[in-house]
A and B are shown apart, each in its own frame.
Chain A
Amino acid sequence: MKQGTTRHSLAALFVFGLLAAVLVAAPASAQDSADEPSQEIVIPVGDGDGAGTGALVTGGGDNAPNIECVWLLPDNDGDKSLYGPDYWGNGMQYGDDDDPYTDAWDYAGECYETRDNPPKGDQDGYEGEGDAVRPLIQVVPNPHDYAGGEQGQNGEQFIEIWGAVDQAIGDDHIVVADVYHPDGTRKVNLPMTVTPRIPNEAGTSSYICPTPDNMFRAANATGQATVGAIDAMVWECENQTKHFWYGAFGLSKHQPHGIYTVEVRAVNTETSAVTLHVVHFEVLPTVILEKDFDSVYWNIESNDHVVNEYGGDLIWSPGAGGAQTVRNVGNAGMAIDLLFDMMCLDGNPLNCVDDIKRIDRFDAALGKEGHGLQRIGDVNLGQEPIPAGVEATFDESLPNVILCPNEHAKIEFSLYTGLQHPGKYYGVDEYGDPGGIHLYAHPSFLYDGNYLCPTDTGNVDYHDYWYPVGTLTPKANGYHGFEAPSE
């Protein structure tokens, strides 16, 4: 009897401990969700082959709905909209505010450039991508993908699709969007939602077509819709000949950077006539370097090769002191170079003239989980030490020093002493100012001629849903932030 009670107590303690460990570690370890079960919504139009031709195709006869315009918006609510509503500014726009167009605008009706998208060099310097298409917008994923996170607060970056489709009274249309990775594989299929037309109690038009504040301002500011086209589309919606459709999907930092394709299909449900409208957006490559340590310590009791006090580890534990870990929370592969400043007794640059009052030889080691450490400047391996003031590079042809998104690496720093004068040594840079160790991160993504990191290959099999706060119900058409008045 008592043994059973004891077993229950042990089991309870074990469960309690395990649960506590999971709950405490959950925010750190569950930053990026595991694979979710697939729940694709299939609309029986299109074949989802990621054609991405950039061409306007109308099929099925004269009853195919006309798609007047499609535009995309990063739904940013970050620094550029601290004081204003959503859409103010448009987040990051590479190069200039939008992509350059060369042909004349058709003011009479089209909202933006022709569908032909003549070849134009890509903007991101990423060879092979984007050379034949022209993205409407450039976006950057958030560095973390906490499920259920609000936009701008460590949730996925949302991208909105807006479309204006001719729709007279009595027309029954559906509009669907397919989004494709840079390599042409499909990312998500989502049904778009029509904005309501609301009877206008006052005013000159019969109806009003509410849309989020500043949405059209952002579409215009990014060169996707002229003022005239917007005015015309709004008028047509209010006079019941056009509808606005919207949809949204998430962009994880684990998904590839490059040029994505969006295919919007408007279907006449009575005749099955289809109109296809293709646009593109670009996900920019980003490098975000993080470290979980503030300082590096040495305590030298003998003249020798001295590894820093705590060494490196793979446990991400921010705070002063402790073992050193670095990681990449960008969306592109990253490598790290480093530079040691000279260390002078008492931090006095004049002391560095004297050999015994100067430490100027170092080595370093870097390696990510499962790949071991790569050492540079290690005399025990027959290498020359790293001199102070000279940027040192790891061999990026080896995978252990290329950090893919969210990968951690341990990093260690050592110095060589001879007959140094006892005392405290401070880092001093080339200008005589306080110095230390500089870590230089830069994009690096090739190993043995092949892309090492999934986000650099153009296709990543990753969930494409978002979870409304407080629920675990995935939604593919996760429009966020706009609650239109009911009809």
Chain B
Amino acid sequence: MVRNRAVRNLRAVLVAVLMIGGAALAAPAGAQESLGVFPSFLEIPDALRGGSFSRTIAVQNFDTDEATTISIQANGDIADWVRFTDPETGTEDLATFDLEPNEGREVSIDFTVPADIPNGQFQGQIVVDSFLGQGEDGGVGVGLSIAVQTTIDVSGDEIREASLQDVRVDPAEVGLDQRFVATVNNAGNVRVEPRVDVVISRDDDVVAEISSGEAFFRVEPAETAEAHVDWDTSEVAAGDYTAAFSVYDVATREPVLIDERVTEFRLEPTGALTRNAEFFELTLINEPEVGGEAIIEGSVSNTGQLEIQAVLDADVSVDGGASTPLTSLPQRIGPGGSAVLELRVPIESAGTYEVTALVNYDGVESETRAVTFTPGEAEAEVPEASGAVVGDGDASDDDGGLPWPLIGGIAAAVVLLGVGAWFFSRRQPKATGRHAG
């Protein structure tokens, strides 16, 4: 009886432990690979034969631990119509880029429809691939891809639909350029080239007439973009003014008026507006190696009232030696805006690198920040065992690692022994009146 009760107790313990162990095995124990793209459909209903337009997709690496390299390509009818660029600059080729864990990026897909194709519907896919690396522990690697279904209806009808969405006058003070900005939307299927004309008045007297003139702005189909013109205020008095905007599309043979708008603005006296920036972070964002480069980012916020042009000025020294100056590309940051300024430091030798930097915005210098790092040595690539192993009967060909079920079993056994020992230590003598057997 005692033995049976003990066995039943032990079975209960075993069940409990297996439940714990089983639950632990079922719980997320490491990184999962994950790739997302949105939207999953693209449709352009009014594409003009010979026309150009853009659409934006976003690619997200939802993996929590592993970075990945993304490549994008197009297939199907549209394969040769496509270029992938950075939506911010419109110039960078984004057919391939890296994504850190949980990082996403938008990609502009620039379509150029051939001029010699017939009207009709054309289909294809924008395929986003994540890096297919070497398999681990003797296995074959598996790569994830997302295909965005794309449909383009091509017609020969030119559709011109531009509208003046908004106008604004940026803050300025006497002596600085006063910028007048027009936001133009293009709902048609041909490019719009806006020209901004502004008549500036004070107390009903025309003070200046300015035009963006030869400056080239363009708004592609289904896009919204800004065009601007600047007013030299060096010989103008501070005060309240009126700006009458007239925005034209000059892509046509004769300029076509898009719209007109009137707004009031104030030109501040010299020194009235603040120019201020906060340099709040300097970060090394990669793991540099000798022979490569270190990528350092400086984060800047414009906390003033005026737009600023900011650069990161840095001094780089190795092992406390003589410093080498380095400067980032400049960026314009509007009031309330933020930007990341990037430095690329060549790593030509081993040692401890110190990068000391400040933000210079229009001649004003911020506080200094520094980052120190020690680059690693680049490793020679050694091909690892991967793929399938075709055996010749020798069991030693097994290159696999310790499988998870075995790990879980060991853990469960350890817990079982511990709990069982505790449980049996609490066994009571059998009740009196029964045969001891």
Contact = CB atoms under 8 A, between A and B. Distances in A.
Interface of A: 2-3, 5-6, 9-10, 13-14, 16-18, 20-22, 24-25, 27-29, 78-79, 83-84, 88, 92-98, 100-105, 107, 120-126, 138, 140, 143, 213-214, 217, 220, 223, 226-228, 284-301, 306, 309-310, 315-322, 329-330, 332, 337, 343, 347, 359, 415, 417, 420-427, 434-443
A310 B400 CA distance: 11
B23 interface: yes
Interface in B386-430: 386-393, 397-398, 400-401, 403-405, 419, 423, 426, 428
Given A21-B22, A288-B36, A125 B15 contact: no
Interface stretch (B77-85, B137-145, B354-362, B372-380): B137-145
A1 B342 CA distance: 75
A128 B223 CA distance: 24
A425 B403 contact: no
B157 interface: no
Contacts of B251: none
B62 A2 contact: no
Interface in B247-275: 259, 261-263
Nearest to B402: A321
- Identify the 7 closest CB pairs spanning chains A and B, nearest first: A295-B139, A17-B16, A125-B43, A125-B41, A288-B36, A100-B187, A21-B23
B138 A297 contact: yes
Interface string B48-82: 00000011101010100000000000000000000
B24 A24 contact: yes
Given A287-B38, A424-B389, 12 more contacts: A10-B9, A13-B16, A20-B23, A140-B58, A289-B36, A297-B140, A309-B400, A315-B25, A320-B137, A424-B138, A440-B127, A441-B35
Given A125-B42, A294-B136, A9 B423 contact: yes
B104 interface: yes
B104 A79 contact: yes
A343 to B, nearest CB: 6
A384 B383 CA distance: 33
B172 to A, nearest CB: 15
B136 A443 contact: no
Interface string B337-359: 11010000000000000000000
Contacts of A294: 33, 135-136, 139, 141-142
B388 A300 contact: yes
Nearest to A428: B387
B428 A295 contact: no
Nearest to A415: B388
Contact of A321 (B25, B383, B392, B403): B403
B151 interface: yes
A417 to B, nearest CB: 7
Nearest to B429: A2
B234 interface: no
Contact of B401 (A5, A120, A321, A347): A321
24 contacts: A17-B20, A78-B104, A83-B301, A94-B56, A103-B163, A104-B163, A105-B166, A124-B39, A125-B149, A140-B38, A214-B336, A217-B336, A287-B37, A288-B35, A290-B33, A290-B34, A294-B141, A294-B142, A298-B140, A309-B400, A315-B25, A320-B136, A438-B129, A443-B40
B137 A228 contact: no
A95 B55 contact: yes
B222 interface: yes
B40 A24 contact: no
B56 A318 contact: no
A343 B186 CA distance: 50
Interface of B: 5, 8-9, 12-13, 15-20, 22-43, 45-46, 54-56, 58, 60, 62, 103-106, 125, 127, 129, 132-151, 161, 163-168, 183, 185-187, 222-224, 259, 261-263, 280-281, 299, 301, 336-338, 340, 383, 385-393, 397-398, 400-401, 403-405, 419, 423, 426, 428, 431
A84 B340 CA distance: 11
Nearest to A441: B146
Contact of B135 (A88, A102, A285, A436): A436
Given A320-B401, A437-B143, A25 B27 contact: yes
A319 B404 contact: yes
Contacts of B137: 295, 297, 320-321
B224 to A, nearest CB: 5
B389 A2 contact: no
Given A287-B40, A440-B127, A9 B9 contact: yes
Contacts of A318: 28-32
A95 B56 contact: yes
A332 B56 contact: no
B62 A290 contact: yes
A223 B224 contact: yes
Nearest to B405: A322
Contacts of A100: 161, 163, 185-187, 222, 224
Contacts of A6: 5, 9
A347 B383 contact: yes
Contacts of A422: 390-392
B224 A97 contact: yes
Contacts of B223: 96-97
B387 A343 contact: yes
A291 B33 contact: yes
Contacts of B405: 322
B82 to A, nearest CB: 15
A109 B164 CA distance: 16
Contact of A83 (B60, B151, B166, B299): B299
Contacts of B164: 104-105
A453 B428 CA distance: 58
A269 B337 CA distance: 41
Nearest to B169: A227
Contacts of A3: 5
A301 B388 CA distance: 11
B161 A425 contact: no
B337 to A, nearest CB: 8
Nearest to B125: A442
Contacts of A98: 224
Contact of B404 (A286, A317, A435): A317
B163 A427 contact: no
B41 A124 contact: yes
A105 B340 CA distance: 35
Contact of B29 (A14, A297, A319, A424): A319
A441 B19 CA distance: 35
